């Protein structure tokens, strides 16, 4: 980070503390900042001054803990986490995600499919080895969190599953 960026970040942190903002996310390419403050957020806190601090990005306030972010995805915190109560199948290794056994073949699973514990749901390529990833729970696939050919990390969520 440049010295000016550090100064801007310090100004932003002070402003957020003054306005009693509970959480703040900023995502600009390689720069990702997430701030969480321990003090409770004031509902409907004025946030008009934040836009000039983060380069004129749109800011949306809501009558709940505020989350403001920069770029194309500026939004208020959702009323309820859509993934709450869902089981996450996570990657046990670092590698490249593949949703089908070979290019052009149909996917192992898709949203809406019912899966059983132990069923192969995808492949993760690591060091030229194709590792079959098995479901660790039975249920219905709700969402695939990654795309074909995407590099993935250890513990990264791959699928959300609604267990019975």
- Give the C-alpha separation, 144 to 88, whole Å: 10
Tokens read off for 31: 């720069």
> Does the pLDDT at position 76 exceed 50?
no
- Give the C-alpha separation, 19 to 33, whole Å: 18
Residue with more model confidence, 14 or 61 = 14
Q: pLDDT of 37-68, one tens digit each? A: 764 444 444 555 555 555 544 444 444 444 44
Tokens read off for 101: 């056994």
pTM of the model: 0.49
DSSP 5: H
- Give the C-alpha separation, 68 to 102, whole Å: 41
- Give the C-alpha separation, 5 to 68, whole Å: 18
Q: pLDDT of 86-96, one tens digit each? A: 899 999 999 99
Give the domains, in start order, of the chain with CATH numbers. Answer: 1-79 (no CATH), 87-162 (2.40.50.100)
């Amino acid at each position: 980070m440049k010295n000016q960026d550090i100064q801007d970040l310090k100004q932003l942190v002070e402003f957020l503390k003054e306005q009693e903002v509970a959480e703040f996310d900023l995502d600009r390419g390689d720069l990702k900042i997430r701030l969480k403050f321990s003090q409770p957020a004031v509902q409907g806190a004025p946030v008009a001054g934040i836009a000039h601090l983060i380069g004129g990005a749109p800011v949306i306030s809501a009558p709940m803990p505020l989350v403001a972010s920069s770029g194309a995805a500026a939004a208020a915190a959702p009323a309820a986490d859509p993934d709450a109560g869902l089981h996450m199948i996570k990657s046990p290794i670092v590698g490249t995600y593949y949703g089908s056994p070979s290019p052009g073949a149909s996917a192992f699973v898709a949203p809406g499919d019912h899966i059983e514990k132990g069923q192969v749901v995808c492949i993760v390529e690591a060091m030229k080895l194709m590792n079959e990833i098995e479901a660790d729970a039975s249920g219905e696939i709700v969402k695939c969190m990654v795309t074909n050919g995407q590099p993935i990390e250890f513990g990264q969520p791959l699928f959300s599953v609604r267990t019975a």
